[in-house]
Chain A
Amino acid sequence: MIEELRKKAEELLKNGTVKVVFGYGEGSVPERTRPVFITKPEDVNKLTWNKYCVYNLTTYLKRQETRKLGKPALILKGCDARTIIVLLKECQIKREDVYIIGVTCDGVGDPLAEKCKACDVHTPLIYDDLVGEKRENKEVPFEERYAELDEYEKLEEKDKWEFWQKQFEKCIKCYACSNICPLCFCDRCIVEKNQPQWIDPSAHPRGNLSWNVTRAYHLAGRCINCEECQRVCPVDIPLNLLNKKLAKEAEKSFDYRPGYNIDDELAMSTYKEDDDEDFFK
């Protein structure tokens, strides 16, 4: 599969289809990989593929440094490719401006990443080329997909509050979560707006609560569950639990899952007349 990837990359670079290939390279130790940006056909041997390729490379689509390299081909797992669908729908990229080398995937991480446990996109839903043997994308039941939330949803109100306060207390407002997120693409994050300053930028518990809640809310109906925010958090806040909770609510209430269908209506920019309103008085 690695050979196939390298051949594909070489071909795309040689024939000028793309200027750069975003892929995975070997890391400092065998259990790690790192993103590589291949611009020359002779460098394609730097590309690798293994179960440690956990990152979502679509995040580099929003960065000036990598944008400058020209039209990219991205090596994307099924989960990562969902990002592309959201980015297309949110007018952040044009389809013709990216080349997608989809890879089929049976899960990454060792131990297996949480996001892989209920994967239903072993084969990407959008790609220009597919590398690897096609897998069936079996539907996973709703409950199973959000099973991780159960133990937290069951907590008493007070315990929930305490749990999250303990987590948020640790936040040092380094914004690694939003920096890595491929869907946090605002030029000016709301936290950077200072007239008025809706969210206190300093790292104290009150400001941390508003930041973390807002960050998650801004991903409602958008997050594709790549877990990158959580992976990069230096203080190990389980950020993806918040994202997942919102994803669950969006699916429950609006029957919507982002990144599956290029033709759907974005959950948070549409409505149905019979949307749930049991909680309205």
Chain B
Amino acid sequence: MSKKIGVFVCHCGTNISATVDVEKVAEEAKKNNPGVSYTTTYKYMCSDPGQKLLRDKIKEEGLDGVVVAACSPKMHEHTFRNASKKAGMNPYHVEISNLREQCSWVHPDKPTGTEKSVDLVRMMTEKTRKDKSLNPIKVPVTKRALVIGGGIAGIQAALDIADAGHEVIMVEREASIGGHMAQLSETFPTLDCSQCIMTPKMVELAQNENITLYTWSEIEAVDGYLGNFDVKIRKKARSVDLDLCTGCSSCWQVCPSKKIKSEFDMGLGKRTAIYIPFPQAIPSKPVLDREHCLLFKDARKKNIPPNDSKVCRKCLDICPIAPVKAIDYTQEDEIITEKIGAIVVATGYKELDDISMYGEYGGGKYKDVITGLQFERLASASGPSEGEIQRPSDGKVPEIIVFIQCVGSRDPAKGCSYCSKTCCMYTAKHTMLYKHKVHHGHAYVFYIDIRCPGKGYEEFSLRAIEEEGATYLRGRVSRVYKKGDKLVVLGADTLTGSVVEIEADMVVLASAMKAQDDAEKFAQKLSIQYDKDKFFSEIHPKLKPVESSSAGIFLAGTCQGPKDIPETVAQAGAAASKVLALLSADELEREPVVAKVDRLPAPIFSTCIGCFYCQRVCPYGAIESEDIKARDGSTIKTVARVNEGLCQGCGLCAATCRSKSVELAGFNDEQVYAEINSVEFN
């Protein structure tokens, strides 16, 4: 039975009717088309009476297809589909002819506009004839969130979600949560101590009953889709049983390997092989570094199980837990699987640590050329020098210190063109911290521009110059070389046009925030996009700043791009609120504009031949393979299948399929064909 289609032509006040003969459009719609059983024009179709007209006529005339010839579908497609739904018609039998934006507003000549409008209505009428009923896809929601990364972004997001009453799984790959913020000495622009504001949050997280924390753990795989992710987490062998251990500190006090560079202290301090990264670590229980542990080294050398090595068992021996010790050399990685509804990615950044790429600044060459984070550790009261600024080479307090900005940022020649955003501010902070600790010292800063667009930031930066007496020099440094125990910094002062030569005791490079080394691989694991610098991409830079390209996965903090703490916290809160909105429903409804691979009766089953080009082009990993089985269990055919939960409806698969075995609902083959076929130019 052919469809009964109604065509409603809108005047849009006079927006359409002034340059399009709407009566004629309606008349032609009927004349050309036996399937069109009703046509009318109306002043404002989108108005309440206009929508009522639509609803009434659907019922009275028994319409099962509607074309509204009005403005852009971006304006009111939703409106008219809703109205039709209320009248009992499946909303996907409504199509919009865009007369306003495509005719009346751009073609002032009435006959021309009218002629084109007649065409546009015919095209949509033909498409409507082929429209099929579609029903929203309902997806159940697992009410549990995963937060990846336990820095300030992850902690904030996890707390926000947990405080709203939802379960949160937090995965942190280091032995403790805290991230980079825990390493900072004081924070701009208030100069409050980072530990003082960070550690209470860490404790709060650990104590929150809704939060399950996995430290020393990494994401192994993420499968599934919005509302229904299956996440595999690798709990790396810690060699310490977290349930038994009390964190009494005996083990790391007796550990004989005491000269391992501390990652937390950016290599400036030392740690033991069994250790906690820093005193306020959460959990405050150690991890055994198998790389450096004497016992494991010995076992590797002799190729024997670690437990058989007798070289050193001091930590095990001293462990006071009984009868079973908390230290276990035989522990292995463990994979656990969690069902998750939504994910916050807060994996943070990595400071540019390969400063040897800045050999001209002495990076990697001279011990007293250090990075920004190293300076943080020197300035930190809990750092390797207990807050005294000392040169790494000889422990001398530097009297002249030079800060060089934009190291690893704003430097296209070195492949990093972006601005790292926080360095101007942290350098200003560094000059102040330095000045507060070394009163007689002098700080110089080489900069390209000073960028401090935050609340109180400009003032903070000026304070460094005007009150704390730092000398700011606009220009690049060309060379740093050693002369005696001094570092000679050769640079330009472009404001005075002179060459500057400073004999410094120490040089601090304002090294940039970089994406994590494994960012690319990690993004692929999650099927999210990343930019040229490997920072994860938000789906819209302005309107969807925390949404990743995969539905249900949100971004927080510096994994998305360089940012400071307030911005990170704000973004984490935004990501959390997006997660909460998702978890607030029991079921999600999704637009049914998804692809489908055909299924036919035996013996064909599907015209799909299983070449899986569709799978290769799908940006969402939404194409799965399905074995069509015979009764005896043998595979007759392996074909493609679309996971509706993952499909976003782009139609790439449909256009790639040579046999056209996969089609996109709402834009299926017959619909597109009908549209093309109905183009009739006169």
Binding site for B on A (CB under 8 A): 90-92, 185-190, 193, 195-196, 198, 218, 265-266, 268-270
Q: Which residues of A sit under 8 angstroms from B678, Cβ to Cβ? A: none
In the assembled complex, the CB of A250 is this many whole angstroms from the nearest CB of chain B, namely: 15
Contact pick for B659, options A91, A92, A188, A268, CB 8 Å? A188
Q: How far is the CA of A263 from the CA of B613 in the complex (A)?
A: 15
In the bound complex, do residue A187 and residue B613 qualify as a contact, i.e. CB atoms below 8 Å apart? no
Known: A91-B638, A269-B617, A270-B616. Contact between A196 and B669, CB under 8 A?
yes
Contact pick for B658, options A91, A196, A218, CB 8 Å? A218
Q: Which residues of A sit under 8 angstroms from B611, Cβ to Cβ? A: 90-92, 185
In the assembled complex, the CB of B678 is this many whole angstroms from the nearest CB of chain A, namely: 12
In the assembled complex, the CB of B293 is this many whole angstroms from the nearest CB of chain A, namely: 39
In the bound complex, do residue A92 and residue B609 qualify as a contact, i.e. CB atoms below 8 Å apart? yes
Decide if B604 is an interface residue (CB 8 Å cutoff): yes
* Chain B 580-618 near chain A by CB (<8 Å), digits 1 or 0: 000000000000000000000000100111111100110
- Who on chain A is nearest to B598 by CB? A188
- Who on chain B is nearest to A188 by CB? B607
Decide if B670 is an interface residue (CB 8 Å cutoff): yes
In the assembled complex, the CB of A89 is this many whole angstroms from the nearest CB of chain B, namely: 9
How many residues of B are counted as interface, with CB atoms below 8 angstroms from the partner's CB atoms? 21
Known: A90-B611, A91-B638. Contact between A186 and B616, CB under 8 A?
no
Q: How far is the CA of A116 from the CA of B658 in the complex (A)?
A: 29
- In the complex, besides A196-B674, A198-B669, 9 extra interface pairs with C-beta distance below 8 angstroms are A91-B611, A91-B612, A187-B659, A188-B661, A198-B660, A198-B673, A218-B658, A269-B613, A269-B617
Q: How far is the CA of A182 from the CA of B674 in the complex (A)?
A: 33
In the assembled complex, the CB of A93 is this many whole angstroms from the nearest CB of chain B, namely: 11
Q: Which residues of A sit under 8 angstroms from B661, Cβ to Cβ? A: 188
In the assembled complex, the CB of B658 is this many whole angstroms from the nearest CB of chain A, namely: 5
Contact pick for A269, options B610, B638, B656, B673, CB 8 Å? B656
Contact pick for B660, options A92, A190, A265, CB 8 Å? A190
* Chain B 616-659 near chain A by CB (<8 Å), digits 1 or 0: 11000000000000000000001000000000000000001011
Contact pick for A268, options B607, B609, B613, B638, CB 8 Å? B613
Q: How far is the CA of A187 from the CA of B669 in the complex (A)?
A: 18
Q: Which residues of B sit under 8 angstroms from A90, Cβ to Cβ? A: 611-613
- 7 CB contacts below 8 A, A to B, read A190-B658, A193-B659, A193-B669, A196-B674, A198-B660, A198-B673, A265-B616
Contact pick for A195, options B604, B610, B659, B670, CB 8 Å? B670
Q: Which residues of A sit under 8 angstroms from B612, Cβ to Cβ? A: 90-91
In the bound complex, do residue A196 and residue B670 qualify as a contact, i.e. CB atoms below 8 Å apart? yes
In the bound complex, do residue B656 and residue A193 qualify as a contact, i.e. CB atoms below 8 Å apart? no
Q: Which residues of B sit under 8 angstroms from A189, Cβ to Cβ? A: 659
Q: How far is the CA of A195 from the CA of B656 in the complex (A)?
A: 18
In the bound complex, do residue A187 and residue B656 qualify as a contact, i.e. CB atoms below 8 Å apart? no
In the bound complex, do residue B659 and residue A186 qualify as a contact, i.e. CB atoms below 8 Å apart? yes
Q: How far is the CA of A239 from the CA of B391 in the complex (A)?
A: 76
Q: How far is the CA of A196 from the CA of B126 in the complex (A)?
A: 13
Q: Which residues of B sit under 8 angstroms from A268, Cβ to Cβ? A: 613, 656
- Who on chain A is nearest to B532 by CB? A273
Q: How far is the CA of A56 from the CA of B484 in the complex (A)?
A: 77
Q: Which residues of B sit under 8 angstroms from A190, Cβ to Cβ? A: 658-660
- Who on chain A is nearest to B625 by CB? A91
Interface residues of B in 448-465 (CB under 8 A from A): none
The 9 tightest CB contacts between A and B, nearest first, are A269-B616, A196-B673, A186-B659, A188-B607, A90-B611, A269-B613, A218-B658, A269-B617, A196-B670
- Who on chain A is nearest to B606 by CB? A187
Q: How far is the CA of A137 from the CA of B669 in the complex (A)?
A: 45
* Chain B 143-186 near chain A by CB (<8 Å), digits 1 or 0: 00000000000000000000000000000000000000000000
- Who on chain A is nearest to B607 by CB? A188
Q: How far is the CA of A266 from the CA of B627 in the complex (A)?
A: 23
- Who on chain B is nearest to A92 by CB? B611
In the assembled complex, the CB of B129 is this many whole angstroms from the nearest CB of chain A, namely: 12
* Chain B 471-500 near chain A by CB (<8 Å), digits 1 or 0: 000000000000000000000000000000
Most-contacted residue by chain A among B608, B616, B656, B670 (CB, 10 A): B616
In the assembled complex, the CB of B520 is this many whole angstroms from the nearest CB of chain A, namely: 14
In the assembled complex, the CB of B667 is this many whole angstroms from the nearest CB of chain A, namely: 13
Q: Which residues of B sit under 8 angstroms from A265, Cβ to Cβ? A: 616
In the bound complex, do residue B670 and residue A186 qualify as a contact, i.e. CB atoms below 8 Å apart? no
In the assembled complex, the CB of B641 is this many whole angstroms from the nearest CB of chain A, namely: 14
Q: Which residues of B sit under 8 angstroms from A266, Cβ to Cβ? A: 613, 616
Q: How far is the CA of A270 from the CA of B617 in the complex (A)?
A: 6
Q: How far is the CA of A92 from the CA of B613 in the complex (A)?
A: 12
Q: How far is the CA of A133 from the CA of B91 in the complex (A)?
A: 69
In the assembled complex, the CB of B127 is this many whole angstroms from the nearest CB of chain A, namely: 12
Q: How far is the CA of A245 from the CA of B192 in the complex (A)?
A: 69
Q: How far is the CA of A92 from the CA of B639 in the complex (A)?
A: 11
Most-contacted residue by chain A among B604, B611, B674 (CB, 10 A): B611
In the assembled complex, the CB of B524 is this many whole angstroms from the nearest CB of chain A, namely: 14
Q: Which residues of A sit under 8 angstroms from B604, Cβ to Cβ? A: 187-188
- Who on chain B is nearest to A197 by CB? B673
Q: Which residues of A sit under 8 angstroms from B613, Cβ to Cβ? A: 90, 266, 268-269
